[in-house]
Amino acid sequence: MPETQLLGNIRYVTDTDSSIYDLGEVEGGFDSTQLRDYIAQYGTDGYDQLIRALAYMVTNATNEYVKFLTLKKPETNAAQA
């Protein structure tokens, strides 16, 4: 098993008693110091791997959203159009 370190995080709001946050709101990002250290250590190759991993996550989220829309009832999709 490889040793890993946390580079960033993504969370979403599941419960709130404040009007500042909306349920389902997504938040997160990178710790600036950790990100700079990562780029300094791994350079262009590391940056390339990071961007590929982020692109994969976006593609995966998009695919899941498309599946969600496809599984919805046609009348629901038509009402949103």
Q: What is the pLDDT of residues 23-59, one digit of tens each?
A: 999 999 999 999 999 999 999 999 999 999 999 999 9
3 within domain boundaries:
no
- Measured in residues, the chain has a length of 81
On whether the pTM is more than 0.85, the answer is no
21 within domain boundaries:
yes
pLDDT band at 78 (very low <50, low <70, confident <90, very high): low
1 within domain boundaries:
no
Structural domain tally of the chain?
1
21: containing domain: 8-80
Give 50: exposed, middle or buried? Use CB within 10 Å, 0-12, 13-18, 19+.
middle
